Amino acid sequence: MTAEKANHSDAPMWVPSPAFIASTNIAWLMQRAGVDSYEALHAWSAREREAFWAQAIQRLGIRFQRPYQRVLDMSGGVESPQWLADGQLNIVESCFAAPPDSPAIIHQAEGGALGVVTVGELAALTHRVAASLVRRGFQRGDALAMIMPMTPAAVAIYLGIIKAGCVVVGIADSFRPKEIATRLRLANAVAVFTQDITVRGGKTLPSFANAVEAGAPAAIVLPAADTLQVTLRAGDCAWADFLGCETTFQAAPAAPSDPINILFSSGTTGEPKAIPWTQTTPIKCATDAHFHQNVQPGDVLVWPTNIGWMMGPWLIFASLINRAAMGLYGGAPTGREFCEFVQEAKATMLGVVPSLVKTWRAADCTRGVDWSAIKLFSSTGECSNAADMRWLSAQAGGRPVIEYCGGTEIAGGYIAGSPVCACVPGTFNTPALGWDVVTLDETGRPADEGEMFLVPPSIGCSTTLLQGDHHEVYYAGTPKGPQGQVLRRHGDQMERLPDGRWRALGRADDTMNLGGIKVSSAEIERTLQAVPHVVETAAIAVAPDGGPSRLVICAVCSAPQNAEALKAAMQDAIRRELNPLFKIYDVVLLDALPRTASNKVMRRVLRDQFISRP
């Protein structure tokens, strides 16, 4: 995302040369579309969506078991498009088109040595996982949860579940048992893949124990080291006992709309939204990477993430479908060792969240590290600080930083950057290809500043929720676009700058991004209800320096409280019950929370008051 107004600078940090532009994937698409400028290309992609996606599918080499009859069928309306009508595919078959001896995964455990998994080796392990699932009686459509870090085994498990015709349930391993239990229940998971423990940042996380406390169904448990360090329950299975010796497996056929992955995004009522990804969703991930991050065969993509967040699956498909490799570091990405891993893996694209960049810069983690292999950076999840992004660009000799904003429910970005355009730090220079966007003010009229709405449809865009009314969440009550278009709600506030770029101004709803993780105010406030003496709270995200959001809790208590002691108690509750990655920046004690006439808490007033206080 982008920087606040106070940190804005109009000077580009990257201006592409004609020779560079000619070498990009965008240049190929411009030629096929018959246009001579990027602006014309985007307009074509938004106007001729069926043609755009047909070109993307051809370019990526997506494999079909039965050809589709039409790319886009809109007979069911804009909210329910049918993509690749009458086609049949298993998207995993499009993940192994690179030469078998080329790298698929470059990996390193915390404190360990660099390792490489080839495309052929990853394909073989994927086959074994899929065949083992079928042999053990799992059926097509069964939901199998994954609560584990991004490792080579996790990638093979993820792809193997899909290849067998089952559905991955992605749950971040940083979640506590209560939140894990909620996600297992919503997805109706019938089994779980997890590790015995996870070591990250020198700390040991009890992954298996958390799953057990959450009431997880039968678990397949992987060892973090050589042997399991936990005692399994009756019905659980060690990884070594689960795997068979099969060397091939025929991918289960599927319709384009069949689910492959259930992911969770923050809901405004406190219960997460369960969002199904389908067989077509990975095409959006790979297309964005191909055109906006310019990923090409032989590239190495490093983006610290987790299988439970959308960027984990995004990284898998963005790299493998584009015949590139992914770089996976098994520890905390905040220190020197990670920066050295980026060097040793020869990463060509490095993905970040802005708070991570701020940490590297403050600790001088990159001093003496050679990042010359990096061709571009990409940033998502939070508002970027322009100065931090200029610093980041300089670590690779002035390479561009591609800002990338989207969400789980659209499987990628709706507004982004393009390396074929001048890049100004902390701003977007284009809507994502295949999308159009509209910014409306509070009266529903087009404006340079306001809430940004999406003009559907797009491959990758959700059409259902496992629980809840999809129309109510994304479409109900939205105004019409300037040409009468149906608009889809996403919840971001944006400002269009005079030269056509955009800057993000935060969320329009009660959702916040903390360290790149989207969470609702309601989820945090629900967790804090049990803290002694707390009557009510309002969780707000503020960015006083124009960079990543900080979590501030405004609290009304039944008796006088020490703010620091209350902050410690609240932090402990969040660590135990929700997610230890959410750090409280400040606690503000109030006599009462400001409310509207309809009794809604006015979080924007609280946010403005906090920022403007002396």
Which burial class, exposed, middle or buried, applies to 498 when counting CB atoms under 10 A from its CB (0-12, 13-18, 19+)? exposed
Say yes or no: 594 and 460 in one domain. no
Q: Which of 445, 475, 507 is the last residue of a domain?
A: 507
Q: Hey, what amino acid is at 541?
A: A
User: What pLDDT, in 10s, does the model give residues 34-44?
Assistant: 999 999 999 99
The residue behind tokens 């979640």 is 175
Say yes or no: 400 and 272 in one domain. yes
Say yes or no: 379 and 494 in one domain. yes
Residues across the chain:
614
How far apart are alpha carbons 119 and 103 in whole angstroms? 6
Q: Which of 507, 532, 564 is the last residue of a domain?
A: 507
Say yes or no: 562 and 498 in one domain. no
The pLDDT, as a whole number, for residue 460 is 97
Say yes or no: 573 and 602 in one domain. yes
Look over the chain and give the mean of its residue pLDDT values, rounded to a whole number.
Answer: 92
Say yes or no: 471 and 548 in one domain. no
The pLDDT, as a whole number, for residue 202 is 81
The pLDDT, as a whole number, for residue 3 is 35
Say yes or no: 538 and 468 in one domain. no
The pLDDT, as a whole number, for residue 545 is 65
DSSP state of 442: T
Is-contact 57 256, C-beta < 8 A? Answer: no
Residues forming a β-bridge with 169: 145, 262
Collapsed DSSP state (helix, strand, coil) of residue 455: strand
Q: Which of 507, 531, 562 is the last residue of a domain?
A: 507
Which burial class, exposed, middle or buried, applies to 67 when counting CB atoms under 10 A from its CB (0-12, 13-18, 19+)? exposed
The pLDDT, as a whole number, for residue 547 is 66
How far apart are alpha carbons 59 and 29 in whole angstroms? 9
Residue 25, in any domain of the structure: yes
Pairing of strands 219-222, 203-205: unpaired
Can you give the pTM of this predicted structure?
A: 0.87
Per-residue confidence band for 200, with pLDDT thresholds at 50, 70 and 90: confident
Residue 127, in any domain of the structure: no
The pLDDT, as a whole number, for residue 141 is 97
Query: What residues make up the domain containing 418?
Result: 5-89+257-294+375-507
Residue in 393, 488, 476 with CA at minimum distance from that of residue 440: 488
Residue 96, in any domain of the structure: no
Residue 398, in any domain of the structure: yes
The pLDDT, as a whole number, for residue 4 is 37
CATH number, position 573: 3.30.300.30
Contacting residues for 71 by C-beta, under 8 A, at least 6 apart: 50, 53, 54, 57, 83, 84
Residue 299, in any domain of the structure: no
How far apart are alpha carbons 182 and 11 in whole angstroms? 47
Say yes or no: 399 and 276 in one domain. yes
Is-contact 525 537, C-beta < 8 A? Answer: yes
Q: For residue 491, what are its two tokens?
A: 């919840």
Question: What phi and psi values does residue 376 have, to the nearest 5 degrees?
Answer: -165, 160
How far apart are alpha carbons 16 and 421 in whole angstroms? 7
The pLDDT, as a whole number, for residue 504 is 84
Question: What phi and psi values does residue 545 have, to the nearest 5 degrees?
Answer: -100, 10
Is-contact 184 216, C-beta < 8 A? Answer: yes
The pLDDT, as a whole number, for residue 261 is 98
The pLDDT, as a whole number, for residue 598 is 47
The pLDDT, as a whole number, for residue 7 is 41
CA distance readout (Å), 200 to 148, 197, 330, 572? 12, 10, 7, 19
Per-residue confidence band for 385, with pLDDT thresholds at 50, 70 and 90: confident
| Domain count across the chain | 2
The pLDDT, as a whole number, for residue 599 is 54
Is pLDDT of 178 > 70? yes
Task: Calculate what percentage of the chain has a pLDDT beyond 90.
Answer: 75
How far apart are alpha carbons 47 and 346 in whole angstroms? 38
CA dihedral 422, 427, 429, 434 (to 10 degrees): 140
Say yes or no: 470 and 575 in one domain. no
Say yes or no: 423 and 440 in one domain. yes
Collapsed DSSP state (helix, strand, coil) of residue 233: coil
User: What pLDDT, in 10s, does the model give residues 207-251?
Assistant: 999 999 999 999 999 999 889 999 999 999 999 999 999 888 999
Residue 531, in any domain of the structure: yes
User: What pLDDT, in 10s, does the model give residues 58-91?
Assistant: 999 999 999 999 999 999 999 999 999 999 999 9
Is pLDDT of 516 > 80? no
How far apart are alpha carbons 430 and 39 in whole angstroms? 8
User: What pLDDT, in 10s, does the model give residues 249-305?
Assistant: 999 999 999 999 999 987 555 678 999 999 999 999 999 999 999 999 999 999 999
Say yes or no: 493 and 519 in one domain. no
- Among the residue ranges 159-173, 181-195, 531-545, the one predicted with the least confidence is 531-545
What's the start-to-end Cα distance of the chain, in Å? 27
Mean pLDDT of 90-95: 98
CATH number, position 392: 3.40.50.12780
Say yes or no: 26 and 48 in one domain. yes
Residues forming a β-bridge with 127: none
400: alpha, beta or left, given left = phi > 0 and alpha = psi -120 to 50?
beta
Residue in 135, 402, 421, 462 with CA at minimum distance from that of residue 278: 462
Residue 239, in any domain of the structure: no
Is-contact 495 449, C-beta < 8 A? Answer: yes
Residue 515, in any domain of the structure: yes
User: What pLDDT, in 10s, does the model give residues 553-602?
Assistant: 999 998 899 989 999 999 999 988 888 888 999 999 998 888 755 456 77
